[in-house]
Amino acid sequence: MGSILKGVFGAMVDSRQQKYELEMMREARNNDYALKFQETLNGGDGGAFVRGTRRMLAVIGMCTLSAITLLTTIYPSVPILTTTNIDGEGRNSFLWGLIDLQASQAYMAITSGHISLFAVTCIYPLIVGFYFTPGGRR
């Protein structure tokens, strides 16, 4: 009886061990495919094309932001008029209806100098801080 039980349980353990080994081999193969896919996406030359593209887009974005800041600095008194509620009808609802206020048409005027000041004091420091801060570990 002991030999029979030992044979049955031994076969079950061997079956589980074989399934485990097959699963590990399958997972290793999938990881290898994922690594090859990432290498293909980033380029075989260490990702030089991807880095170059990102840098080019960053330069374009910074040049655009710099041009806007320069124009708003040269002409700081140009008024910009915005409205919060154009037709003045309805209600303003905040926090999914927790706060509900009567909507009114309100105008807000700012100058282009505000945009320049905001860019210089907020946007540029954020960009520089993000760029020169070390990234996470890979």
**DSSP character string of 55-123:** HHHHHHHHHHHHHHHHHHHHSTT-EEEEES-SS--SEEEETTTTEEEE----EEEEEHHHHHHHIIIII
Residue 27 placed within a domain: yes
User: What do you get for the CA distance between the two ends of the chain, in Å?
Assistant: 55
Over residues 110-137, the mean pLDDT reads: 79
Q: What is the pLDDT of residue 86?
A: 57
Is residue 26 situated within a structural domain? Answer: yes
Residue 74 covered by a domain: no
pLDDT at 4: 73
Q: Is residue 19 part of a domain?
A: yes
Q: Which residues contact 76 (CB under 8 A, 6 or more apart)?
A: 111, 112, 113, 116
Q: Which amino acid would we find at residue 90?
A: G
d(CA 107, CA 79): 12
Give the tens place of pLDDT for each residue, 23-76: 988 888 888 888 887 777 666 666 677 777 888 888 898 889 889 889 888 988
Of the segments 19-33, 40-54, 85-99, 115-129, which one has the largest average pLDDT value? 19-33
- Asked if residue 21 belongs to a domain, the reply is yes
Is residue 8 one of the residues assigned to a domain?
A: yes
The whole domain housing 12 covers: 1-42
Average pLDDT over residues 74-100: 73
How many distinct structural domains can be found in the chain? 1
Q: Is residue 36 part of a domain?
A: yes
The share of the chain scoring above pLDDT 90, in percent, equals 1
φ/ψ of residue 97, rounded to 5: 95, 0
Residue 115 inside a domain? The answer is no
Task: Give the pTM.
Answer: 0.48
